């Protein structure tokens, strides 16, 4: 009989973040990698990745962030940070955004409280610091949050994003639900610079079948799962074709398979 601690370890592995390099995600990553390695220029191109909540935008952003993690140079004593991943504030607030950037890069607190500093002084400090870090790409997740502000506040926040990209000669990448497209289009100059990449919900096709098989194969189960086409259709119907729901369902089925001793995802388990 298998040791309980081994099962616990496999279940913990299933419950952790799992990256599956399916083609649609790799396509976005290839575009992003091309942007971050592009020679600097005054008007750096960028990308707006949009789709349903849970479709995999944040997963892609975090994967790229891990690929380009900060590196410390002991000779110069400088930490090079090619990529900065931030979440848009709940509302388009410039001060809050600048303070969030300083916190994200671990900037030491100045003698003057950040809250007491003007937006202009925070701006100067942020630009100088990010330039020293050698930043090449700024990624803003949940960019649709700026829709919570007034039209004037949205325009000001978009101006900040465009300004940072210009000053640092860094690519700007935004992630959000489809409503984010309308928000970004509120700044014509910024919209022209950001190509749009839509991540659609999964459909009943070969790409979905391949993704499910790859995902199940990544689970630490002892037996191979041979699912019928009917089961794939059921998974699609249960999850609405949303990546995060698909992952959650397959993980739940895999954990049940370990606990029950089946050691594979079965058609009966999906039906139940």
Tokens of residue 137, six digits: 């790409």
* 133, β-bridge pairs: none
Total number of residues shown for the chain: 272
Radius of gyration of the chain (CA): 22
Q: Phi and psi at residue 49, in whole multiples of 5°? A: -100, 120
- What letter does residue 89 receive in the DSSP assignment? P
The answer to whether 254 touches 222, Cβ cutoff 8 Å, is: no
Block means of pLDDT (10 residues each) for the chain, 272 residues, are: 72 90 92 94 92 94 93 81 93 90 79 68 91 94 90 90 94 92 84 92 95 94 93 96 96 95 93 89
Query: Is the same domain home to 172 and 242?
Result: no
DSSP assignment of 35-69 equals HHTSPP-SS--EEEEEESTTSSHHHHHHHHHHHT-
The whole-angstrom separation of Cα 9 and Cα 6 is: 5
Give the end of a domain, one of 153, 171, 198.
198
Number of domains in the chain: 2
The answer to whether 270 touches 26, Cβ cutoff 8 Å, is: no
pTM, full prediction: 0.88
Name the residue range of residue 221's domain.
Answer: 202-271
Whether 167 is in a domain gets the answer: yes
Give the end of a domain, one of 165, 198, 231.
198
159: CATH: 3.40.50.300
The whole-angstrom separation of Cα 178 and Cα 65 is: 22
Contacts 24+ apart (CB under 8 A), 249-258: 250/212, 250/215, 250/216, 250/219, 251/14, 251/15, 251/18, 251/219, 254/14, 254/216, 254/219, 254/220, 254/221, 255/11, 255/14, 255/15, 257/221, 258/7, 258/10, 258/11, 258/14, 258/221
The whole-angstrom separation of Cα 103 and Cα 109 is: 9
Q: Which pLDDT value is given to residue 1?
A: 44
Report angle CA 72, 114, 139 to the nearest 5 degrees: 50
CA distances from residue 81 to 5, 41, 192 in whole angstroms, order as listed = 39, 18, 27
Report angle CA 96, 67, 36 to the nearest 5 degrees: 70
Whether 12 is in a domain gets the answer: no
The whole-angstrom separation of Cα 37 and Cα 131 is: 16
The answer to whether 31 touches 47, Cβ cutoff 8 Å, is: yes
Query: Is the same domain home to 32 and 101?
Result: yes
Q: Which pLDDT value is given to residue 209?
A: 94
Query: Is the same domain home to 169 and 57?
Result: yes
Query: Is the same domain home to 210 and 184?
Result: no
Give the end of a domain, one of 159, 174, 198.
198
């Amino acid at each position: 009989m298998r040791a309980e601690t081994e099962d616990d370890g496999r279940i913990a592995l299933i419950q952790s973040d799992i990256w599956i390099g399916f083609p649609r995600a790799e396509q976005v990553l290839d575009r992003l990698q091309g942007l971050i390695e592009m020679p600097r220029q005054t008007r750096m191109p960028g990308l707006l990745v949009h789709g349903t909540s849970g479709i995999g935008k944040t997963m892609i952003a975090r994967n790229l962030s891990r690929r380009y993690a900060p590196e410390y140079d002991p000779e110069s004593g400088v930490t090079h940070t090619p990529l900065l991943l931030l979440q848009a504030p709940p509302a388009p607030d410039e001060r809050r955004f600048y303070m969030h950037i300083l916190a994200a890069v671990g900037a030491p607190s100045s003698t003057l409280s950040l809250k007491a500093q003007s937006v202009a002084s925070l701006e100067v400090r942020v630009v100088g610091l990010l330039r020293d870090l050698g930043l090449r790409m700024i990624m803003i997740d949940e960019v649709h949050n700026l829709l919570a502000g007034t039209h004037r506040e949205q325009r000001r926040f978009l101006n900040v994003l465009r300004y940072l990209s210009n000053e640092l000669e860094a690519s700007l990448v935004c992630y959000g639900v489809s409503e984010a497209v309308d928000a970004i289009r509120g700044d014509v100059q910024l919209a022209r610079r950001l190509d749009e990449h839509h991540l659609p919900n999964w459909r009943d096709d070969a790409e979905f079948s391949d993704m499910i098989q790859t995902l199940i194969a990544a689970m630490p189960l002892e037996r191979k799962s041979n699912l019928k086409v009917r089961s794939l259709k059921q998974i699609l119907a249960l999850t609405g074709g949303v990546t995060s729901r698909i992952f959650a369902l397959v993980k739940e089925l895999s954990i049940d398979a370990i606990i029950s001793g089946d050691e594979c995802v079965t058609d009966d388990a999906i039906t139940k």
